Amino acid sequence: MGHKKTIVFFLIWPIFAFWFSRQFAINALFSSILFYGIPSLLLSLQKPSVVKKSFIVSLFIIPFMIIVDYVAELTKTWVWPLPQSILPLKLFHVVSLEVIIWAFLHTYIVILFYQYFFEKSIIKKFWNGKSREAFIGTTFIFIIFLFILYLSPIFLYIPYWYFVFGILGILPVVLLEEIRYPQVFPKLLKTAMYFFYLNFTYEITALKIGWWSFPSTQFIGHVSFFGVIFPFEEFFFWILLFTLAILSYYEYFFNRER
């Protein structure tokens, strides 16, 4: 499949995924596979040279997503309801395996898409000083989380959690990438434009079917589109900025010759 046909596929796919989801009322797990897994499989087959790197880098999202989802579920920032789950096992009795699979596939497809459409040369050797820093930092943060979880879990009840982790973990890295590497940022922005479209479609589909919900009142505001209402933080930090954050971390830690 050539580039033009691939572009057409990616433009049509979210619409098809929306229709298919509504038509067959699929569950939350299959929704991640449908919206992110199948397109990532297509790119993996078309450019196998980037699969190993993309896969390994995407694993770094898992510890962070466990932390983010644990606090989110604890504070009812969002909820993945059990009736939608076909994987009843939950990590620490709280974190849904569906959300871990979603986070991995989301990160994987973003990195694949970026390399496929916008990277002229691929840096295959990415294990260097910065990537080691990422590994050490990720391990350290997750160990701290485990200590707090088992010693004093009350400290994990963080008010306005979506706003807090968005301000600390998403917004700064996007701003720094734009300021420090303005020559790279346009490529990131082009990728984010597509995933705004994909993620927005996924959000509308999810809320109409009931894959997740936002029962908390601790949000700074709400937005409404196509008959569904969801937090402003969801729109701003996930739909708008999350792709830029993934690629900013990726560029800084894994994709620069040093």
Nearest in space to 94 (alpha carbons), one of 109, 110, 76: 76
Structural domain boundaries enclosing 84: 3-254
Average pLDDT across each block of 10 residues of the chain; the chain has 258 residues. List them in order. 83 96 88 95 91 92 95 91 61 86 96 88 68 90 94 92 96 90 88 96 94 93 94 96 95 72
Q: What is the pLDDT of residues 183-234, one digit of tens each?
A: 888 889 999 999 999 999 999 999 999 889 999 999 999 999 999 999 999 9
Tokens 């995924």 -> residue: 17
- Give CA–CA dist 257/114, Å, rounded: 17
User: Token pair for residue 140?
Assistant: 């350290």
- Give CA–CA dist 120/84, Å, rounded: 41
Number of domains in the chain: 1
Predicted local distance difference test score (pLDDT) of residue 83:
47
- Give CA–CA dist 73/96, Å, rounded: 9
Per-residue CA distances from 135 to 63, 138, 139, 149 (Å): 11, 5, 6, 21
